[in-house]
Amino acid sequence: MDRRTFVATGAGGAVLLGTGGMLGADALLSDGPENGPAYGSIPVPEPSGSTTLDNGRRASLYADGRVALFGASLASQYTGVPAVVGRLRNVSGSAIEQVRLDIQFLDDAGELLAGGWVGSDTLAPGEVWRFVVNYPNNDPKNIATARVAGIEVV
């Protein structure tokens, strides 16, 4: 089973969340509540380039062209919990020990509600990491948007 960790910081301090059994981004999209997050595509860092994947989909390149990010969006879990979902592919010719994403949830004034890093397991060449990062606080109606603030290979 894939295990990922997310360290979130908010007004209440730090929270460590574990996620297992990742769901695909397509399974998590919903219309969402009338007052709350604006679901859909979210801001990502400026890419170093782009590529067309073997399925014809365009993806943004990061970490000197070693990883491709596609489908990053704010979605709603079947439980109603907002989550950042997406996919990242190792497009390099060698294994990557870990990719880390800096995920941030923001209110309508652009203030940080929660944020932290989520990391992958080792990614083989061509392997896709489907990530799901749940909003850790109990005030999801305060979320206006989310963003991927950083991507790094370690």
Confidence of residue 55 (pLDDT cuts 50, 70, 90): confident
- What separation in angstroms does the CA of 30 have from each of 102, 144, 152? 23, 15, 29
Q: At 112, which helix (H) or strand (E)?
A: strand 112-119
- What separation in angstroms does the CA of 6 have from each of 86, 107, 136? 15, 19, 9
For CA atoms 120, 54, 85, 112, the dihedral sign is positive
Place of tokens 């990242």: 88
Flag the least confident range among 36-40, 76-80, 121-125, 149-153. Answer: 36-40
Confidence of residue 2 (pLDDT cuts 50, 70, 90): very low
Q: What is the mean pLDDT of residues 61-73?
A: 95
Residue 68 has pLDDT above 80, yes or no: yes
Mean pLDDT over each residue of the chain, to the nearest integer = 81
Residue 69 has pLDDT above 80, yes or no: yes
Q: How many residues belong to the chain? A: 154
The third-level CATH classification (topology) of the domain covering 3-153 is Immunoglobulin-like (2.60.40)
Q: Which is more confident, 55 or 44? A: 44
List the domain boundaries for the chain. Answer: 3-153
- pTM assigned to the model: 0.75
Residue 38 has pLDDT above 50, yes or no: yes
Q: What is the mean pLDDT of residues 108-120?
A: 95
